[in-house]
A and B are shown apart, each in its own frame.
Chain A
Amino acid sequence: MTRAVEWVKVDSERYPATEGESVRDERVVNGKRVWHPRKSKAAALLVKGVDLPIGDARVLYLGAGAGTTPSYFADVARAVYAVEFAPSPASRLVDVAETRKRLFPLFADARKPSEYSSVVEGVDVLYQDVATRGQADVALKNAGFVREGGRAYVIVKARSEDVTAEPEEKYEEVAEKLDEKYEVEKVVDLSPFYDDHAAVVARRR
């Protein structure tokens, strides 16, 4: 069984893909689930050439939604702890988790990590896509789970913070706050796949 993200050619574009059971209506090419950059911010990061070392990794995923992106992570990772607090997406997340042996659904609020600290082990990667106010605080509160040198990918949706501010200012502000516990490496704009979204890529100090 392959445990790595691969690349497949679709409509003359190269897209990441993984091996695993389908969860939605994703395309399957050569037995691989196409991970489309417009349907997942993590795929957008990969297509933009960002290193996302999830193969065989332990991952804490905050803001798991209905489990679409977490399902790709779980195809290649050792363990994915997926936190989601809204009941409707969480309901679908649990369905998706049933199809993935190493996807652990946690119906909890990512602002209260003590609600899942008895379950989550030390992780190599923190991936956060909560799209709400206080995005930096969530990553800081969960920093205690990330091993030293572990990676953090914090998706920032500029409009979640403030509808009027310039997106770039917002990204910078989040990056500065993260500096308390992470060493920020770069800010990656997710256009053209997502407007007003960026990922702050950092390492745990």
Chain B
Amino acid sequence: MTAWFERGTDADALETSLEDGAEPEVRDLPALAVEKGVFETHDGYYDALHEATVEVARRRVDDAVDTAERDIVNAVRTLETLSEQINELDERGRDWSDETGRVPVDEIVEARESHEEARDETRRFIEERTPELAPNLSNLAGSVLAARLIALAGGLDKLARMPSSTVQVLGAEDALFAHLRGDAPPPKHGVIYVHPYVRETDADERGSAARAVAGKLTIAARVDRYAGDLRPELAEELDEKIEGIRSRDGGDGS
């Protein structure tokens, strides 16, 4: 079986060797490389291996991040389309059967079912992939909301660079423009409204809750973009913050 240095000692040679797909084996590769005269010393071997593995991993990771991002953005847009279409089909079907007591075209019912299947599968895809790209954002927001934020921002990189006040109103662009025209009050929240910590907080404290959620989600996006490790403490900090906000609304006044 092959060792990575047999056809060259750079990143391309290493990458090609990965395709060989042999079974694991206990081999003294540095000694083998020296024996074959490819390197003079073990240190020389390790230095070349380091350079090549770093380069190959960097290439592949960048590619994968790019693909993951495109997959997530497309999937979440598709999910929205499917959900809208299912709602519309339901409405049509309801009207039709209200008027005539039945829907005489079976295929319409079947189409609705297959849409539903596609929607569920798309959601599963999002739930599987989003935490791989954005573990912390997914942990705090849930995968679907995380994916919607990434899509609205135009990518995780862009999301990670936004101030949290922008993240707070992502998805409320219409309301924001109306406000900027002087026609309306500023929106308190965009798509983060679907987060239980925003939606389920009493109306008079909802603005603070939205600010707190947006703040933590922004930090999560930055950790995901620049560090990548899962930090459960972010969720705990958000829990505490929301608890604090909720305990001051509708309290007993004491």
Contact = CB atoms under 8 A, between A and B. Distances in A.
Interface of A: 24, 65-66, 68, 79, 86-94, 97-98, 101-108, 113-123, 141-148
B128 to A, nearest CB: 11
B154 to A, nearest CB: 18
B233 to A, nearest CB: 10
Given A115-B18, A121-B30, A87 B53 contact: no
A30 B42 CA distance: 31
A118 B49 contact: no
Nearest to A85: B132
B192 interface: no
A86 B14 CA distance: 21
A54 to B, nearest CB: 16
Give the 3 A-B CB pairs with smallest separation, nearest first: A144-B24, A122-B26, A66-B229
Contacts of A65: 228-230
Interface string B198-235: 00000000000000000000000000111111100000
Interface stretch (B58-66, B115-123, B241-249): B58-66
B181 interface: no
Nearest to B54: A97
A68 B229 contact: yes
What interface size band does chain B fall in?
35 or more
Nearest to A91: B61
Contacts, number: 130
A148 B25 CA distance: 11
Given A87-B65, A88-B224, A94-B61, A119 B53 contact: yes
B49 A115 contact: no
B132 A86 contact: yes
B96 to A, nearest CB: 44
29 contacts: A66-B229, A68-B229, A86-B132, A87-B68, A87-B133, A88-B228, A89-B135, A90-B64, A92-B226, A92-B229, A102-B46, A107-B57, A107-B64, A114-B21, A114-B23, A115-B21, A117-B21, A118-B1, A118-B2, A119-B18, A119-B53, A122-B27, A141-B24, A143-B24, A144-B25, A144-B26, A145-B25, A147-B26, A148-B26
B53 A90 contact: no
B50 interface: yes
Contact of B227 (A87, A92, A94, A103): A92
Interface in B59-88: 60-62, 64-65, 68
B132 A88 contact: yes
Given A114-B22, A119-B17, A105 B228 contact: no
A123 to B, nearest CB: 8
A94 B1 CA distance: 27
A114 B22 CA distance: 5
B60 to A, nearest CB: 5
A148 to B, nearest CB: 8
B133 A88 contact: yes
A66 B228 CA distance: 6
Nearest to B21: A114
Contacts of B230: 65
Given A68-B229, A87-B65, A88-B228, A118 B57 contact: no
B24 A105 contact: no
Contacts of A91: 61-62, 65, 228
Contacts of A90: 57, 61, 64, 228
A94 B54 contact: yes
A157 to B, nearest CB: 12
Most chain-A CB neighbours within 10 Å: which of B3, B60, B228? B228
Nearest to A119: B4
B24 A120 contact: yes
Contacts of B53: 97, 104-106, 119
Given A87-B132, A90-B228, A104 B24 contact: no
B29 interface: yes
A181 to B, nearest CB: 11
Contacts of A142: 24
B61 A121 contact: no
